[in-house]
Structure 1
């Protein structure tokens, strides 16, 4: 059916439907359009436009009169193009096939023009917005803007790349693509959408008809007519939310819950629509049927209908998918069940924050499925991890580290730890020694972790790792494998925050390697680095520094050797020395790490950016703010080029840079950086994500440092209310937010409010840190000062003496430790002065004087 034929049908149905009562109109349209989604949408868009013009638009001729006065433009010239024929109608514009007619060169384009009678103020703004959005996009899988302008009678138009192709669903069926081929094509779509997100543009109307595939198999993403611009300032001030305010721009079958509820639109909306498309490509059906076309009926269908798993959709025998004819329905159901079910259903969660956080995460899970790795979306179990591993390693002889790795990734997933852990352990998997015997050891451990083997017993992460330790303890006659076991389990505990459990295992691993490997072996360097990392977390900076140095010494014995691991060890020493306030040494090591990373041919630009950023922090803390700003700007340039401006790494750098700007008293720019960082995190992760909370806290800290206490307190309380909904004391932001809030109360003299927040802070720190850790010592000192001001002298004495003792018990003896001792002595002097204990006040005053003389 041609575009004109469709339009005549739409006109006829509209003219009849507009005369009917509301109660009868919906059934009439459904029946007349014979469930053709395109026809239904067009008729309803005209009815809506005719009934609800804006006050500005009411001065224009009635929409329903003008909309059908379609001019025959064939042969007419617009700009440099001659109209050949009409291609399609949309709710707002008409698309024509046109060819260049200025004698310079031949070129066919798709020329879009506002419909006659539809050139209202708002629609012109929306049309121009689409044109400007396309002008910013330059991607192989997005149709390119070629030209644009205004006709003699003032109608805006634009010409874009003419794409001859089929909608993606029809293309897949026509060319009989199998499941993996469909997934590959779909990932090209995801790449285009992700590119748009990096440009701060959300499509909002993803559906098969807006995704064409050419005969050569190339994807082209079309129609950014209702796209949302996240940062209008980057797009000539175009504010798409204001243009579409009061409207519900969506396609009902592909609408997201937040669209129907008029909630904020983020990247999660595009991910939801991509999930519907993938569901449709693999099953031939949509995840649910949208009943009716009124706003309330659409909202009810989209928000309340829970989609069944794609594999189950195949069991509804009507309308079998074309894919089920290409490969057997039974085989297709088996391939969909499990991983693909989980991946697709994660994209279709009604709550945006529970979907994938980015299109990149979505495609990464699809790639894991294709490579037979465990997918992030799926509920973890030891059996599942083991099954996926065996699928990838069908020879049956695999390394122990790979086996224990599966249980570790399981632990990490259920405790919501970062993707970096999996990367590090994948490397361990590749390098580990293969051993048939170890499979038997670990399969026994997995079996013990299976709920069917432990009826009535909840198998926890610690239980599983403890069983791994028991297995490792039995391997004294196989020291190499035993050392690997201790190393991997130790790192597992480290990433779970169980540093006291991680330390002895990593230390055992190191001792075994020292006994059985040459001192120059790189395996030893890795072991020193891993032990140094956990010691750093435990607050034992002296021993941490020693281990990092030993790792570096091994690398230094290999002339000409430069590697990512070598640079990471140098960077680690710099980080420790920065914490110890040994800025001169820290600066030297940062510069060595940076130089090496710049020379490595395949080094991740993110690592180079991290080196610039780390060096900038060290320079700033050492009193070199100008040089610090230069380094931070270098890091910013790398992140901008590597990540785009809206990437979380860029946001983190903006937070760091804001601190330097505050030093230069550029508070307006500092506040702008912090607000931009917060908006980036919101747009990428959503309102309630931990990273968004980090940015919100940084803004609160800024307000506190500039004396805007009410704004700071409001942000802190907002964060605590959000954290309270998780009911988890282990939430990574709970402790720092409590500490910041208590500091605010102390600064403003509100000691009654400060006391409970400080007590909760100390309690949280005690549960995760070494008793002598600097952060715990500092929190106790703050609590002691608060109690002193409240007149609770005995409790204040207890906290201050415990703080002082913990500092003195540390093995290192660096300058900043002496500063901590001095601060604790000053707090004790103040306590005894207020308490009226002149004897003890004199004693601690003398200690303080002696310390000053030594320094």
Structure 2
């Protein structure tokens, strides 16, 4: 109600309040106090002091809530408030960030308003958290966290939700600010429908759909907010639960967008959301809300919603709303009259059963309208179907009457087809002549026939490229075809850079032929962008794909297969951008799943989603996506082996990080068997598989087989010529394996080449470069080059700080562990402990039985405590670690962690002068090191030295 009265001109508020006093006298003083508080906020120092409003509502006793004022800088749980974003009838929303340093992103933190806080809101907030936790969709703001404020601190025991912070503009305001036409407005609205339909399939209705709860970000993507008054459909059979909450808190919705059954307080279903969406669509199309009232009061509005049929949107447009849509009044009326009027009014029907049965049906009718198909809301009369046919074929139909329609269609289409055929024949002849001219370079008719016959395929292609502009200057469409052909030929020869340049020239030719906003241009841009992948031209790639997306946006294309494939390409281009890559991949998967489930590209989109989730450590989500990918690929006999290999290797990595060791091993073996059978031993996929599998086996204590695979891959690289990336993968895996065993000198040259490679990729802003530098710091520490190790680690730490939070998460723990090792070598236990405090559970693997990073940190913590002279704490830490490893069913895979714990315990026992126990611990560590790493390992040598020193000390 406060929102409603604030929307009125100041001169109309008195009449509104008078109506409220007459209809609901208990609420009128509450609204008056809220208006007074709002006026105070508008003119006072609101952000610095916060409101001091005391409201007596619904018979509850007024209370002094001055202790609950919220200010910038207040701590709400682990979050610090930055600035107020806005407020509504139930809650206030702040921009906040974590104060404990665990996550660097900004979030929207939502708390109930102080002046409506009373029993029941905790349950409502808990319900909102439960609802949002179920919803993971590109166009729905995500829930990150939930909690309850400390009773004696800011917020005074109120619950709070931590949501995705969406920087954007309300839907209608965005459309008006950008002067979007009807097709573009409908394209945005289709994103809203997709999100609401997704929520409905999860048994959630929104119940407060309005433009203020629909934001559009600067990229033109919709985000649906505020499920705070949503109701789970699953609760429909238990009215006592929701009814009790409603009695305590009150029915919360925005009247202008509420359905008749919502106003009457009846049970709600998906049809209520359909109605609210109809109101939003009405406002989007004509700039007005459905009901015109002589003076707006809650009672009159509710009566209109229940009893009055709204006028068609085409009857409500004005010159002003037409200008906001970039067209004339007459053109806007013409575009709305008929089908769009019918679609909107069907969604706004008073009876739920007479509306669209689902949001998907509403979306389908809008798609049919967009594509020129008969809409389902219209009577399927013969005249209507003929009219739709004529509109879809307006070039062929002309202006003839219905009596001669078939004759006109036949003759017009024949003439048009003949014209097209002649044009295509001329183009084919020109292209044929062009290609023949190229290959004449290689015939006996040349001045030097012997030299001509020695011309290579590459030289012939270069000749063609030099001649193309001159020979096909007047035919840009034909030029585009030849550029595509030559680009494909360059690509087949492994000349990726030259191929990419030709694809770029093809885009320019198509723009010349069809204009800059044509669908064919978008397709060519998408192909060009994908071709740039892996060439180190990331910014150019993303710019090109963004341009392709803008074209499809302008065409209102949100669900075509071309759109889905473009989004998949964008997920690849933004692979290191964390959530952005996930969003693009999810959008692609959603389009394929809903509209093109039989497409051969659907598994590739799922594969890309799995990779994007894996990159941000959403391991469970990645595993699910990749398992589904493989199920689709293995059921398709024509599926690409490369796609299956990518999915299998990423799945094996995710399973390994989840410590599903047996499952990861089985996936690795499937991948290796597939590539050996289909590709052979020398194929790059086989090299990738052997390297990844070998490193996995070594890290899980299967040394002999591991080194067979790793040496086989490195030998193949030495014998054949490979592109830079697969050769680098093999060298990187081999170097990491050497470092695992402590073979510091052998790893050095391989590691340097890996670092050189990653310095050139992504302008050196890659987490892979940070990981490689961290490995070099560890390698130099092992060599005793302490100063070099510190210098390398400083570079890694500097680069780490410039990465996104998602990128940091994958490499921050290893960097902290090396920092602690260097500090311990410097006899700086305090510095080591500070670094170890930054080691956190890996996201998605919090419940692993033996979290490797945390266990390594525990070993180093025991050593640091020992350096501080805290022998008892050091012993407790080492013994707890040893007990955990020995009690785990995964013990056999992680012998090296057990050896770490034994050595730490041995050093503690020596300090405690328990020589016999210390020596036994060192001897057991030696046995485990030998079994895991073999003779010659620096780790084995260190354990043997400790054991020998212990024995000499005991005998002495």
Return the TM-score normalized by structure 2. Answer: 0.36
Return the TM-score normalized by structure 1. Answer: 0.40
Structure number with bigger Rg: 2
